[in-house]
Amino acid sequence: MRFRLTVILLIISLLPLILLGIFSYQRSASVIESETQELTNQLVGESNKILNQHLDEMVQVFTMLFTNQKLFDLLNTKKSDDAYENYQRESEIRDIMRNITNARLDIQAVTVASESGDLISTVSTLNADFQPEEQDWFKQAVDAEGKLVWFPTRQEALIGEGGEQWTYALARSVKAVGSDENYVFLLEVRESALSGLLKEMELNNTGTLRIVDRNGTVVSSLEEGELGTKKETYTFLDQGEAGSFVESEQLISYAPLETSDWFLVAEVPLAAMLGQVKQIGIFTFGAVVLSAVASIIASVLIGRQLARPVEAMRGVMKLAGEGDLTAQAEITGKHEIAQLNNSYEELIRRFRNFVGRTKGAGEELKQAADDLIKQAEQNNVTYREITEATESIAAGADQQAREAETGAELVGELLSKWRASLSEAEKLEQVMNETVQVSEDGRNSIRDLLEKNELTEQEIKRLTDNLGLLEDRVGEVHKATNLIDDIMDQTKILALNAAIEAHRAGQDGRGFIVVADEIQRLSQQVLSATETIGGSIEAIQQAMKSTWNSMKLTNEAMELQRNTVTGTDQAFNSIREQMAEAQSQLTSVMNTLSLVQQFEQKMSDAIQNISAVAQQSAAATEQVAALAKDQENSSDHLVTLSHSLGEVVNTLEEELSQFRVDREAAGDDGTETVEERLAREGENADDTSPFDKSKALTNTVEEEERAVGEVYSVFVEGGGREEGDTLTEEETAGVYESDPTSETEGERQDDEKREDSSN
């Protein structure tokens, strides 16, 4: 307990302090890191401006070279056969280049070379076999096609012998005006100019500044050993933009130089910046150590006041758990642990009384359990026989129900056949009704046809009469035409006679000749007209004969049609009579099927009732069998519980025998039996059955358990108290007075006196 108390105090005192220290350290480190990163970025930006200014000056000087017209005129001058003239030309070119570059002391050499192999430089030491067109710097400048090319720092000079000085260079190819010749200008600058600027921008010995190209090669640095080396970790330069990040406890800030393809990189170690923050960590560690020491001292002092009495009570409780209910802890005082010990001793005294009473109740309970076992075994045999009988009845009822279901299925199949026959009969009746309707419609059509035939015959007869009249009129017209022919013949003769007489008269008879000619011509026209009328009359007569023959054939056809229609009408009448007879027979069949259907419903209801009754009987029998089986199982379970009860009683006696009880139960003089106690409580133990006895004993045990539970609830949880609170003497007395099974105040005082005397 002391160890746990010490650990708890350590956690309570150290955990907030540790968390506060860690938070303060991390917060301070984060703030310092962000501020350092911002300041470094500002420094890199300002330094970048200074370096760009220096490089711009180099570019301006370099531009002055290839923009000097006099220099280009000398370069374009062809070499002479006179060596002296060539020497003067080269000297003038060197003087111009020196005059332009003398203002900058950091320029080491200026060189101009052509594709034809000419080389002029301010360097005095040149190798005679030096071929500029074969050099890498010359090729790169030509490939750049007029763009400025920057070369990183190197210890060996590109032209001549540069000694031990580090130099960087810039080159550019320029095409001469009026000539196809390309000239490459090369400017070599001492690296010390850049390192001098870097030294002025030094980060107070806490960081490093260096200039590198895009490949990570160091162009300039304050550490000479880094010049010309490659930084493999500078892969971030491929992005070509400014930025900063933290890697391996190093703050790295970088920015591109606008004039060249180089970068300014600053590295600042964070350890130097976080020195003061580490002091916060050291202070936090010291505070944690002091708090730990204080917690250990406090736990030792609290252990002296709290742990020892608690250990004493734990020892007493352990003995009580082993069965010794007489052990007591010698704890005096009015503090909470002493009050807790007094309450615990009162609880043990009540428990001793409970153990004494439970022993007596256990004997009675054991006897009741034995009687219960015998009765349960007899009931088990009876229930098993009932179960077998009900199972046999259930099997017979189930067989009867299955047979009833089979009969119901057969009747249902027969009834389905009857229903199918009735359905077919209904369809046949519908077809017959349609046939009767069709025959009736045909009969009506025949009657209409007969009426139409009679009207047709009447019209044909009327037409025949009209043809006879027409034939008579045509005959009269024919006679009239014959009469006209006769008159015309006489007129012709008369006209001929008149003509003859006119010829005889001579000149006086000319008028009669003209009249005779006209009469003869008119008679000829009339003759022609009569012939036409005669042809028409003959055609009419032929048409009338043809019509007459057609009418005769039509009369014969109408007569034959009348006979056929009459036969068809008789056939429809015969069909109607036969269909009426068949319909009557079908109605008789349907009535018979309807009667069968009525009996079908009654028969189906009867069979279903039989099946339902059989199923209900089977279900009821199965339910009875199930109840009997459940009762048998309950009886078996009761036997098992009875044996378990006996075992529990034996176990209870064994457990109670482990307790040491030196003093008799409170309220007893040591001679009162369980029966006397039950009689004193108003219960008659002789007139009750074993079940009632066991129930009474169980109630007694439950009352004792409730009494102990109430003491415990008041002792630990009662009265709205938390665990660890103590009870006053008035509260303890009130609890025991509220228990209906507790002792009186006088009995409790007598017990205390007896306990004191025994102690």
Sorting pLDDT into bands at 50, 70 and 90, what band is 730?
very low
pLDDT for res 163: 57
pLDDT for res 689: 44
Distance of alpha carbon 406 from alpha carbon 409, whole angstroms: 5
- Does pLDDT of 574 surpass 60? yes
Question: With pLDDT > 70 as the criterion, what percentage of the chain qualifies?
Answer: 68
The CATH number of whichever domain residue 163 belongs to comes to: 3.30.450.20
What is the number of residues in the chain?
759
Q: Hey, what are 42's tokens?
A: 């500002």
Region of residue 364 (left: phi > 0; alpha: psi -120 to 50; beta: else): alpha
Question: With pLDDT > 90 as the criterion, what percentage of the chain qualifies?
Answer: 0
Burial of 359 (0-12, 13-18, 19+ CB in 10 A): middle
When the pLDDT of each residue in the chain is averaged and rounded to a whole number, the result is 71
SS3 label, residue 757: helix
CA dihedral 209, 213, 218, 220 (to 10 degrees): -60
- Does pLDDT of 694 surpass 50? no
Please give, one letter per residue, the 3-state secondary structure of 227-277.
CCCECCCCHHHHHCCCEEEEECCEEEEEEECCCCCEEEEEEEEHHHHCHHH
Tell me: the pLDDT tens digits for 125-158?
666 567 778 788 888 888 888 888 888 888 777 7
Distance of alpha carbon 174 from alpha carbon 148, whole angstroms: 10
Chain centroid to CA 296: 57
The CA angle 726-730-732, to the nearest 5 degrees, is 55
- Mean pLDDT for 702-711 is 47
pLDDT for res 125: 63
- Does pLDDT of 695 surpass 60? no
Amino acid at 300: V
Q: DSSP secondary-structure letter at 665?
A: P
Sorting pLDDT into bands at 50, 70 and 90, what band is 85?
confident
Residue 77 lies in a domain: yes
pLDDT for res 54: 80
SS3 label, residue 170: strand
Lay out the sheet containing 243-247: strands in order across.
218-221, 208-213, 262-269, 250-256, 243-247
Distance of alpha carbon 694 from alpha carbon 641, whole angstroms: 14
Residue 560 lies in a domain: no
Residue 393 lies in a domain: no
> Sign of dihedral through CA atoms 507, 510, 511, 512?
positive
What is the b/e burial string over 546-574, where b = at least 16 CB atoms within 10 angstroms of the residue's CB?
eeeeeeeebeeeeeebbeebeebbeebee
Global pTM reads: 0.36
For residue 93, what are the domain limits? 21-276
- Does pLDDT of 41 surpass 70? no
Q: DSSP secondary-structure letter at 79?
A: P
Sorting pLDDT into bands at 50, 70 and 90, what band is 599?
low
DSSP3 helix / strand / coil % (the chain, rounded to 5): 75, 10, 20
Sorting pLDDT into bands at 50, 70 and 90, what band is 576?
confident
SS3 label, residue 413: helix
Residue 93 lies in a domain: yes
Tell me: the pLDDT tens digits for 300-309?
766 666 667 7
Amino acid at 428: L
Residue 546 lies in a domain: no
Higher per-residue confidence, 2 vs 239: 239
Distance of alpha carbon 317 from alpha carbon 335, whole angstroms: 19
Residue 299 lies in a domain: no
Residue 503 lies in a domain: no
Residue 679 lies in a domain: no
Amino acid at 297: I
SS3 label, residue 591: helix
Sorting pLDDT into bands at 50, 70 and 90, what band is 561?
confident
Distance of alpha carbon 637 from alpha carbon 645, whole angstroms: 12
Which range, 37-41, 527-531, 629-633, 656-660, has the best average confidence (pLDDT)? 527-531
- Mean pLDDT for 682-691 is 42
pLDDT for res 466: 78
Counting the structural domains of the chain, the total is 1
Amino acid at 501: E
Distance of alpha carbon 439 from alpha carbon 569, whole angstroms: 10
Tell me: the pLDDT tens digits for 397-454?
677 667 767 766 776 777 677 677 767 777 777 777 777 777 777 777 777 777 777 7
Tell me: the pLDDT tens digits for 489-504?
888 788 788 888 888 8
Distance of alpha carbon 351 from alpha carbon 109, whole angstroms: 113
- Mean pLDDT for 706-718 is 43
Sorting pLDDT into bands at 50, 70 and 90, what band is 240?
low
pLDDT for res 268: 74
